Each structure stands twice: as C-alpha cells, then as structure tokens.
Structure 1
Amino acid sequence: MRLFSISSPLIFYFSQNIAFQLKDNKNLQFLWYVEGAEKHLQSYDILSEHGIWTEKIVFHKGKNYNDFNFMNFIKFKRRINELIEIEENILKLLTEKKIKQVFIGNRNAPIDRLLYYCSKQLGIEVNLIEDGLTNYLNFRYHEKPVHGIFSYEYIKRNVKGLFYKALRRDKVFWEDDPLIFDNIYAIFPDRYFLKNYKKEIKKLRLNDKIPKYKECINNLMSSKEYEMLWNNSKKNILFLSQSLSEDRLTSLDTEIMVLADYFKTVLNNTDYRLIIKPHPRDKKDKIDRLVKELGNNNVCVLNNDTPIPIELLLDNIEVNEIVGIWSAPLFYTSLVREDISCVSLLFRLIEISNDDNSKLIRLYNHLKTVFPTEVIWFNPKKKGEII
C-alpha cells in the first residue's frame, strides 16, 4: 500500500496523476490541512477518481502538529502529550496499513516531516512530489535571509533550534535538517538542482486523461462562475492571485497598488476582460478591494468556495494571457500552451514597494535564474538584475 500525504489541491492533482500511472488501486489518501483550508477537502472529493484510491483518511490533527511553536511553552505539558499522541498515531497507521511507499509534498511542514522520519524508522521508501515552485528553492521563501551572527534573524533561528532540540524534536520542527528522499517527482526535472534524493528525478505530467478530470471540466464549462474561461467574446486575461499580504510577504496596500496599476492599463482597452482566480487562502476583503479599485465592468471573479487547481484546465481554456506574481501555473503553461503569454509581476512588486523586500528579492533572483524564459518578467523600466 502507498500513502500520499495531501495538503493542497495541487498536491492532490499530482498525487492522483502518479497513482493513475501505477495502474492499481493500492493507494491511500492521507488528507491534512492548515487552519482555514478546510475547503480543500471538498476539492479532493470533486477530483477523486474511482478505482485509483483504496481508502481516504482525513487527519484533522495535522494542523495541531504544524502549529506547535515556541509560544506553546505556556501550555507545554499538554502540548507535548498531544505531540506524542499524534506521533504514535502516525506510526500505528503506517504499520497497520502495511505502507510500503510514502509520498509527501510539503517537505517543510512538520506533519510531512514527521511522516518522513516515522517512515524511515520503519524502513519505508519516501518520495517527494512537486508542491508548486517551492521544491525548486533551497530556502524557505517566507523567512528573511540571515545576515551576520548578531542579526535578529540569526538569533531568532538559533533560539528556536535550541527550543526544539530540548524537546528532542529538532529534526521534525527545525527545517535546517535536510530530508533525503528516494525519488523526486517534478514538472521540470532539468531545472531541479537540489541534491536531496538517492535514486532519480521522475517527470510529472500535467495532462493525464483521467475520466474524473474530463467530467469536472465539463461541469465547470457549464457553470455560471467558470464559463468565462471558455467565452471568447473578449480577449481574456486570467489573474492567478496569491496570499502575499496574508503571508506577510508584502503589505496589502502594496499588493493592491501593483495589481491595480497593471490591470487598469490593460483594461483601458475594452476588448479585454479580466478573470480573477483567488488563492484558497486569499481574504475576501482583498479581492473585493481589488475589484473596487479597478472599477471596471470587464472584471469577474471565479468562485473560490471549492478550490480547483488551474493546472487541470490549462489544455483548453480560452485565455490570451495569464498574470500572477510567482504562481506555479505561470511557469507550467509554457509546457502545454505556446499561444498563452504568461506575465510575472514579481519584479514590479519589489520595485515599487516601500516594505522590507529581502524575502522577495531573494525569491526573484533565484526564480529568474532557474526559470529565465518560462514567463515574461514584467519590468517596464527594463532595469537590470536586483542584487
């Protein structure tokens, strides 16, 4: 039996594509979610193909394990007992279900790291599935770069490390401990430069012809919320939002400013229509504010109650341009649709921001090096590389 640890619609999509290729149904869904992402469970039900999966386990305590941090010191004893219970449950699950292979997507999430170490303890093979572009990074994008041993970031990281070491759980919670996988599953095998695997990098495919996907696409084409993606009465621009201000990568004001500045210019041409696809963790107030700021009738918002990975739709949607910051489909599109322009506003976000840009500058420089031609790096002033 194989266990697939699934925490997002994208990881589910890639997991099911892998399971489909294996030509049997010896696959178990291990579903966990972070706070506020419970709606993902509905997405999995819609996408799940009958005959691929043997069993589904919804692990509600996954978020409790992920949320354990230094602030829990006040409730130390109770939280430690909770951690022990979760760890025992994971070992029991792997043993009782006779798991022979484990697939995880989020190598930085404590619950997936726990699965890794429990599996290794039992001699189980562990593989890493692509989780957007984060698997191509050798750093955690939401953390500031560390500059000098007297910097706040350096001191903070070492205090955290000592705390987790005292708990004897530093390998799980301390992300500096690298995980070495048996195999890597990646969309861009030739761009995967990390040396964190023993065997090989296996190529993931975007467009597996799974019957459930076709059914899902047909339902979306006939739905009021999604039909605009196939309506070519105007030139469609699809905007893939990301939870940037929610993740404190920039301020809400800056995020709205960058997006409104770009889209107002485009929408001055009445031949264009903007279709906004919110990120599952976007706050509704942010999307509402962006729509109000644009003040244009040629703007529509896709229903986000049940998140559907846009990767599922890339083959046949009627769009002329896809715009985002660094959302993975911006980069994936080049593999399946040469007729769609993909534009990243990451450079622009850095350029006009008054915030601390160290996180985004590092991210931009890395992605621009690894993926120089997959997207148009929007840069109206044509400045050089950000250092």
Structure 2
Amino acid sequence: MDIIITSQESQLKTAQKFVKIFKLSDICLVYLHDKRVFAEDKIFHSGISKNDFTIINPLQIPLKSTYANIYTLYKFNKIIKRLINEYNPKKIYLFGFGTIYNIIVKIGRKSGVEINLIEEGLSQYLEPDKRKISFSFQHISESFNLILSLLRKKVSSRNIFYNIIYMPVYIILFSVKFLGISDFHILIMKILRIYPEFFEETTNFDNAFLAFPEIVKNICAKNFHQINIIEYKSNTRYHVKNKKKILFVSQQYATKNTYNIFYTSIFSILHEIVFNNNYIIDIKLHPRENKDLIIDIFKSGNFNSDICILENSNYNAEEILLSGEYHTLSSISSSTLVYCMSYFSNIRAFSIGSELLYRLSNQAPLQMRHDINELNLRFNVAQYRAGKSLESIFYNDISVLGNPPALSGASRV
C-alpha cells in the first residue's frame, strides 16, 4: 500500500484529484497534525471522499516537531518508522516539503521506498535559505537573559523566606525553560551529529510533479513532471459576472505582537483601492488566521463598507475564482497570483506586497519580506503602490510563465 502524506486541509482535495487523474489504487492518505490545531472531523469536512482511499490515517505528531527539539524529533522519527513498517509502501508522495520532511525521506530511502514530491504552492521555487536551520549564540544569550529576568521579577515580588524555601523550584523552572530553547537544541544536535538530515538544505526526489518545472532551481529530482494544478482544483467552467469585484487572498504572516499593525496596514491599502477605483473587495482569510481578532481590527478602523471578510468555507482560492464572481485577484505573495496569471486569461492579478513592506517598515515579518522579494524576482506579478490606479499597474506581457499544456497524465520535461 502506497502512502500520500499531507499536512494542510488544502492538500486533501488535491490528493483526491491526484489519485483519480493518475488512477492510483490501494492508497493510504496520511494527514499529519498536532493536537493543538486538529479537529477529528477536519479531514471529512474538507469534502474528500472516503472511497478514493483504502485507509485515511489522521496521524498525530509531537507538538512543535517542525522545530529543532531533540526529544520531539526522536518521537517523530519513531512515528514515521512505525508508519512505514505498518504499510510497507513502494512509493511515498509528499505534498510540499520542509526540514521535517527530510526525516521522512531518509527513513523511506533506507526502506527502499520511491520518494515523490507533489507541488503545494510555490514554496519549492524559493531559495534554500527558507529551509535552512542554523543556531545563534546571540539568540541563546538573549533567551538566557529573558528567562533570568522573568525569574528575577518573580523572586523580587516575594519575601526572602518564601524564596529560600522555593529556591529548588526556581532552579528546576529555569533549567526546564533553558533546555527548551530551540537554538540550544540546534547547537547540541550539530555538535553530536544528531538527526543531521534535519539540517539538509535540499532533498532528492525520484519524481517531482510541479506546475512550472522549467523554472525550478532548488529541487533535486531524477524526473520532473508537469501537472495542471488548477485542473486538480475544479473542472467547472467559469465566466466573469462582476467586473468590479476583487478577491483578496490573505496569508498567515503576522505574529501575536504584530497582528494589529499588520492587518490595519492591509485594510488601509484595500480601503484606498476601493475608494480610488470603485471596487468591491472580498477577503478570503487563511484557515490558520485568527478570524475573530481580524474582524475586531477591521471594525475598530474607519474602513470602507465595500470591503467584506468572507465566511470560512471548504473552497480554496482557485475554486472561488472558478465561480466566476471575480474579475481581479490580489494577495501579498500567494502562489495563487502566479497560477491566476497562467490559467485564468480573463482574471487580472496583482500583489500589495511591496506597498505593505513599505508601510510596515522594520516591523515586516522576515518570511514575508523574503517571499515578496522572490515573487518580484521570479514572477512578473503587478505590484500596487499608493497613488496609482489599478489600470496603470497591470503588465501587458505575462509570457514569462508561458501557457502550460493541459493535463493528460504526467509529461516528461
């Protein structure tokens, strides 16, 4: 029995389409999750059919296993070994990849399993630095000082006799906090050569199924196959009903401390677009974004009523575009922008990424900064800037991507 490994809701229906198009049988669909974010019925609410898979396995992995932690990586290693031993697959299909997937690849290779990559977004086209794991003595020092200052505050708020009695507890608390520092684990793992595959920058695949294999530079694979990623989303024919409607696809970049300034900046940009161009904008939030908090931020500002936050649905951005309700697509750096330019001839696409970076200044998340730079460097996506009309920013020539052929199976590149 072969295995498909997914870790996001959006990948589930894509996996179902992949199985149907390539006529795969006897497949175990594995959904990696941690207890923190998983609901038992999430898989089946995504709209997939149980009939397309022999087994559907929601596999719980350790909390924060994607970060450098010796204990959680040890547990993850055991879970994957148990999975491969149980199903004894000839092939494993991975949707996307990251540092933790290198461990899956290594265990699979040792068992003689064919390892295949299926595109999920455009993360494969970004520079390897996105997946590079490194440590910093400065981070360790900063974490040490932060833990120490918090402990000092606790000690200073209590009398001397209480502190003497509870000193062993303080020492234990400090030790547990310090030993949990990710950079400390990275240092130990590098010195002792523990799980070296976790630090590998590239992964070798037997086959890579990608929408634009001709521009791949950071993936090592024996064979590249071109797939029509939009074909996987829906077979619905579309037509534009309302030429004054924009779909804005949001992305999870903000941290707990930057939520307010991040979304206030986004809403300000969208407000300007609506006001100056007489558009209606619907916002599709990312499943992991805090919808209630975002709505509160929107309500607290004086933003245009023609901006609407869509209710959560089981549809991804491509499927919403296929409904025919939207004339224009916008986002920060979403791969949907690139797909739209290539597959939707009568839907325009633009990014607000550069303008958002300018407004956030040094408070812009590093990952967002990196992704927007990659989008500007590699893809001919129009960028909105304040004071410019939408009509003036769209490029006439989007031949950089070409016109990918219709899917009739895997085509060798």
Residue 91 of structure 1 aligns with an amino acid whose one-letter code is K
- In 2, Cα distance between equivalents of 1:283 and 1:203: 33
| Residue 345 (str. 1) matches residue 335 (str. 2) | no
From 269, 282, 289, the equivalent of 2:297 is: 289
Partner residue, 1:108: 98
Q: CA RMSD in A?
A: 3.7
- In 1, Cα distance between equivalents of 2:214 and 2:39: 34
Partner residue, 1:222: none
Which digits, 9 at most, give the CA deviation of each residue in 1:209-253, with x for residues without a partner? 87xx87xx9xxxxxxxxxxx99956822111111111388xx334
From 211, 217, 224, the equivalent of 1:187 is: 211
Residue 207 of structure 1 aligns with an amino acid whose one-letter code is E
Change beyond 3 A, Cα 1:235–1:381: closer
Change beyond 3 A, Cα 1:172–1:98: same
Q: How many residues align?
A: 347
Partner residue, 2:123: 134
From 227, 230, 246, the equivalent of 1:237 is: 246
- Give me the TM-score of the superposition, normalised by structure 2: 0.72
From 377, 384, 388, the equivalent of 1:378 is: 384
Change beyond 3 A, Cα 1:41–1:327: farther
- Check conservation: 1:4, 1:102, Cα contact below 8 A: yes
- Check conservation: 1:246, 1:283, Cα contact below 8 A: no
- In 2, Cα distance between equivalents of 1:184 and 1:166: 33
- In 2, Cα distance between equivalents of 1:50 and 1:120: 29
What is the Cα deviation at residue 178 of structure 1? 2.4
Q: Secondary structure at the match of 1:261?
A: helix
| Residue 252 (str. 1) matches residue 241 (str. 2) | no
Residue 101 of structure 1 aligns with an amino acid whose one-letter code is K
What is the Cα deviation at residue 293 of structure 1? 2.3
- In 2, Cα distance between equivalents of 1:21 and 1:230: 25
Partner residue, 1:300: 308
From 358, 369, 376, the equivalent of 1:368 is: 376
Partner residue, 1:97: 87
Bigger CA radius of gyration? 2
- Check conservation: 2:233, 2:319, Cα contact below 8 A: no
- Check conservation: 1:241, 1:279, Cα contact below 8 A: yes
- Check conservation: 1:178, 1:196, Cα contact below 8 A: yes
From 319, 324, 329, the equivalent of 1:312 is: 319
What is the Cα deviation at residue 316 of structure 1? 2.9
Partner residue, 2:52: 52
What is the Cα deviation at residue 160 of structure 1? 4.9
| Residue 202 (str. 1) matches residue 226 (str. 2) | yes
- Check conservation: 2:45, 2:314, Cα contact below 8 A: no
Change beyond 3 A, Cα 1:204–1:124: farther
Residue 376 of structure 1 aligns with an amino acid whose one-letter code is A
Judge which range, 329-338 or 356-365, deviates more. 356-365
What is the Cα deviation at residue 42 of structure 1? 2.2
Q: Secondary structure at the match of 1:313?
A: helix
- Check conservation: 1:9, 1:44, Cα contact below 8 A: no
- Check conservation: 1:29, 1:55, Cα contact below 8 A: yes
- In 2, Cα distance between equivalents of 1:266 and 1:336: 25
What is the Cα deviation at residue 41 of structure 1? 5.4
Change beyond 3 A, Cα 1:252–1:191: same
What is the Cα deviation at residue 331 of structure 1? 1.6
- Check conservation: 2:68, 2:183, Cα contact below 8 A: no
- In 2, Cα distance between equivalents of 1:307 and 1:167: 45
Q: Secondary structure at the match of 2:5?
A: strand
- In 2, Cα distance between equivalents of 1:142 and 1:135: 10
Residue 119 of structure 1 aligns with an amino acid whose one-letter code is G
Partner residue, 1:170: 195
| Residue 335 (str. 1) matches residue 359 (str. 2) | no
Unaligned runs of 5+ in 1: 70-78, 218-228, 383-387
- Check conservation: 1:32, 1:63, Cα contact below 8 A: no
What is the Cα deviation at residue 7 of structure 1? 0.8
Partner residue, 1:20: 20
Partner residue, 2:407: none
Change beyond 3 A, Cα 1:171–1:105: farther
Partner residue, 2:171: none
Change beyond 3 A, Cα 1:291–1:343: farther
Unaligned runs of 5+ in 2: 143-180, 389-413
